[in-house]
Amino acid sequence: MGSSRQSGQKTVGDNRRPAKQTRRKTENMATTAMPSRDDFAALLNETLGGENEGFEGRVVTGTVTAIENDHAVIDVGLKSEGRVPLREFAAPGQKAELNVGDKVEVYVDRVENHQGEAMLSRDRARREAAWDKLETEFTAGNRVEGVIFGRVKGGFTVDLGGAVAFLPGSQVDIRPVRDVTPLMDIPQPFQILKMDRRRGNIVVSRRAILEETRAEQRSGLIQSLAEGQVVEGVVKNITDYGAFVDLGGIDGLLHVTDISYKRVNHPSEVINIGDTVRVQIIRINRDTQRISLGMKQLEADPWEGAGAKYPVGGVFRGRVTNITEYGAFVELEAGIEGLVHVSEMSWTKKNVHPGKIVSTSQEVDVAVLEVDEDKRRISLGLKQAQANPWSAFFEQNPVGTEVEGEVKNATEFGLFIGLDGDVDGMVHMSDIAWGVTGEEALNLHRKGETVRAVVLDVDVEKERISLGMKQLERGGVAKGGASGGVNKNETVTVTVLEVRDGGLEVQVGDDGATGFIKRTDLGRDRDEQRPERFQVGQKFDALVIGFDRSKKPNFSIKALQLHEEKQAVAQYGSSDSGASLGDILGEALKLKGDR
- Residue 201 in any domain: the answer is no
Output the pLDDT for position 485.
66
DSSP E strand stretches across 69-186: 71-75, 82-85, 103-110, 119-121, 144-152, 155-160, 163-168
- Residue 196 in any domain: the answer is no
Say if residue 429 is in the same domain as residue 334: no
Say if residue 352 is in the same domain as residue 408: no
Output the pLDDT for position 36.
61
H helices present in 377-435, as ranges: 389-396
Domain encompassing residue 273: 225-298
Question: How many domains is the chain built from?
Answer: 5
Output the pLDDT for position 76.
76
Say if residue 430 is in the same domain as residue 401: yes
Say if residue 405 is in the same domain as residue 467: yes
- Residue 328 in any domain: the answer is yes
CA separation for the pair 419, 434 (Å, rounded) = 23
Say if residue 276 is in the same domain as residue 373: no
Low-confidence ranges of the chain (pLDDT < 50): 1-32, 47-51, 475-482, 575-580, 595
Q: Which residues contact 300 (CB under 8 A, 6 or more apart)?
A: none
Say if residue 324 is in the same domain as residue 278: no
- Residue 467 in any domain: the answer is yes
- Residue 4 in any domain: the answer is no
Q: What angle do CA 295, 301, 302 make, to 5 degrees?
A: 125
- Residue 106 in any domain: the answer is yes
285-292 contact pairs (CB < 8 A, 24+): 286/222, 286/223, 289/215, 289/218, 289/219, 289/222, 289/250, 290/253, 291/222, 291/225, 291/247, 291/250, 291/251, 291/252, 291/253, 292/252, 292/253, 292/255, 292/258
In 3D space, the residue among 222, 240, 335 whose CA is nearest the CA of residue 281 turns out to be 222
Say if residue 19 is in the same domain as residue 120: yes
- Residue 31 in any domain: the answer is yes
CA separation for the pair 112, 115 (Å, rounded) = 8
Output the pLDDT for position 447.
87
Q: Which of 349, 384, 419 is the last residue of a domain?
A: 384
Tens-digit pLDDT profile for residues 128-142:
777 888 888 898 889
Say if residue 324 is in the same domain as residue 401: no
In 3D space, the residue among 444, 452, 433 whose CA is nearest the CA of residue 410 turns out to be 444
What does 35-48 look like in DSSP terms, one character per residue?
P-HHHHHHHHHHHH
Q: Is 537 left (phi over 0), alpha (psi -120 to 50) or beta?
A: left
- Domain CATH number, residue 243: 2.40.50.140
Q: Which of 384, 405, 427 is the last residue of a domain?
A: 384
Say if residue 289 is in the same domain as residue 317: no
Q: Which of 298, 328, 352 is the last residue of a domain?
A: 298
Output the pLDDT for position 167.
94
Please list the helix, strand and coil fractions of the chain in percent, rounded to the nearest 5, in that order. Answer: 25, 35, 40
Say if residue 120 is in the same domain as residue 16: yes
- Residue 141 in any domain: the answer is no
Q: Which residues pair with 161 in a beta bridge?
A: none
Say if residue 237 is in the same domain as residue 278: yes
In eight-state DSSP terms, residue 78 is S
Output the pLDDT for position 108.
78
Say if residue 116 is in the same domain as residue 24: yes
